[in-house]
Amino acid sequence: MQWQKSSFSGVEGGNCVEVADHEGQILIRESDAPDTVITAAPARLRGLLRALKAER
């Protein structure tokens, strides 16, 4: 599985949000706690991100 670091995490590589695509699901983890993974369906994650952006 290929994890991708968020572009907002900076170049130092400290605490980063990472995402991966696995069998049609989106996996999300924090680099300092890689054993804790949140799984989301792509459509649900898009809905969450839209809602969060709208509240800015």
Over residues 17-45, mean pLDDT: 94
Average pLDDT, the chain: 88
Question: Global pTM?
Answer: 0.76
Q: Please report which residue ranges of the chain form alpha helices under DSSP H.
A: 42-54
Q: Is the pLDDT reported for residue 22 higher than 70?
A: yes
Express as a percent the part of the chain with pLDDT over 90. 61
> Is the Cβ–Cβ distance between 12 and 32 less than 8 Å?
no
Per the model's pLDDT, the better-predicted residue between 51 and 15 turns out to be 51
